[in-house]
Every structure is written in C-alpha cells, then in structure tokens.
Amino acid sequence: MAFTYFFRDMQTLDMIRDHIIPSLRARRYINIWDAGCAMGPEPYSIAMILRENMGKMIFRNVKIYSTDIDGSNLFGEIIKNGLYPKNQVARIPKDIFTKYFEPTDKPDHFRVVTEIRKCITFQKHDLLTLRPVRKNFDLIICKNVLLHFQLEQRIKVIKMFHDSLVDGGFFVMEQTQKLPGQVQTMFDPIVSNAQVFQKLE
Ligand SMILES: C[S@@+](CC[C@H](N)C(=O)[O-])C[C@H]1O[C@@H](n2cnc3c(N)ncnc32)[C@H](O)[C@@H]1O
C-alpha cells in the first residue's frame, strides 16, 4: 500500500540531518537510493532536508534515485511533475513550504521548486529481484517497505543494500523496523535507539 506523506517519520529525518549529512557534505558526488518511495513525498522531503543543510553548490551534486514497484503505474509522472494538492502539503512546516513550493495554475495545487525536482529521478523497480538500480550509493533509505516482506526476503534485500553502498555508506529504515540478527554484523548502528546504520566491511 502506497501510504505516505511529507516529512513522515520526522525523528528519522532529524537523524539524517544530524548524523549523516555532515559526512555526505564532504563527498564529491552524493548518490542516494530511496527504495519504495511511493508517489514522492518521501524523496522530496529528503531533498529539502539536504538542501536546508547544504550549500547550493554541494546540493547540485546530490542525486536521489527514487524507486518503487508502483502497481498503479502513476508514480513516475507524479514525481516528475512534483505537483501536489493542498491537503497533502498542509502540514509541511511553513518555512519549508514557503521556500520549496510554488503556486500553480491548477487550483489548490502546489509544485515543488525546480532546484529540488531536478535532483530526483524515478524508476519502477521491484526490490525482490535483488538487483540494485546501481552500485556505490552513499545513502540508502528504505522506510515502511521491508515490513511487507517475509524475514528471508528482508535479509536478502538488506544484503543487496549492503552490497550497493560505498564503504562507510549509510542505511536508514523506519523507527519501528529492526535489523534482523543475520545482518547485524554488516552494519554499525550510528545512533542508539534509531534505525540509522553505517556499512561495515
Ligand atoms: C507504505 S509505502 C511507504 C512509502 C515511503 N517509503 C514512506 O515511508 O512514506 C510502501 C511502498 O513500498 C512499495 N513496495 C512494496 N513492495 C515493493 C517491492 N517489492 N519493491 C519495491 N517497492 C515495493 C509500495 O508500492 C509502496 O509504495
């Protein structure tokens, strides 16, 4: 089910801001995979958090590969257009909304500004194929997706994520998801009580 909303799981986004962005800022290119992104509020929220905490020049090097199995076949267009109805943007903090959304000709719809839209691509992708969309990601975010999989599938997908990260790359899940015991030695938890990890060799 593609339930999602802007700035969902704010505590995790705060962890990304405080513990991951300082390290990402030092990298030449910043490649991020948002796996199971639904129709875009999540990758757009991440892009806005990054932009808020990075200079304009560094942010130009950010690329967010957002992917989803997308049973509706609609997410690609929605994400590309970055156009969302008023009720979906109503709870975004006002300062963020003012900076990163603009009014449109369509009544009661707002569009994500070009600078943010430019860094996000969408691709239909089934995580259970266990084929990554590319390698050498600096950060992989997979929130509220793995809970739909069997334990064995979850372990295989997490191993694929590990293999798709650069050395020292980061992996983030939702607060309520736990890393299965079988893959715990592959990651270092960078914050206690949060599902924010760094790849171990
Ligand atoms: C509850 S939504 C979570 C969206 C977003 N990550 C969030 O936390 O707001 C779960 C998403 O996982 C996607 N999904 C389910 N199975 C998948 C699979 N095998 N491969 C890729 N995406 C999948 C669904 O299409 C849906 O958009």
For atom 5 of ligand 1, which residue has the closest CA? 37
Q: Is residue 177 part of a domain?
A: no
User: What DSSP designation does 165 have?
Assistant: E
pLDDT at 2 over 90: no
CATH number reported for the structural domain that contains residue 55 in this entry: 3.40.50.150
- Cα(146) to centroid(ligand 1), Å: 8
Write out the residue range of the structural domain in which residue 67 sits: 10-141
Residues near ligand 1 (Cβ within 6 A): 1-4, 8, 36-38, 42, 68-70, 126-128, 143-145, 148
Is residue 67, in this structure, part of any structural domain at all? yes
Q: How many domains does the chain have?
A: 1
Where b means 16+ CB within 10 Å and e means fewer, 156-176 reads: bbbebbbebbeeebbbbbbee
**CA 179 to ligand 1 centroid distance, Å:** 18
Closest C-alpha to ligand 1, atom 12:
36
Taking Cα atoms as reference points, which of 149, 159, 161, 155 lies closest to residue 34? Answer: 161
Q: How much is the average pLDDT of 25-42?
A: 96
What tens digit of pLDDT does each residue of 59-80 get? 999 999 999 999 999 999 999 9
Quick: pLDDT tens for 138-192: 999 999 999 999 999 999 999 999 999 999 999 999 999 999 999 999 999 999 8
Q: Is residue 61 in a domain?
A: yes
Quick check: is 102 in a domain?
A: yes
82-130 residue pLDDT tens:
999 999 999 899 999 999 999 999 999 999 999 999 999 999 999 999 9
> CB–CB of 85/108 below 8 Å?
yes
pTM: 0.98
Closest alpha carbon to 140 in 186, 74, 82? 186
How far is residue 166's CA from residue 31's CA, in Å, rounded to a whole number?
10
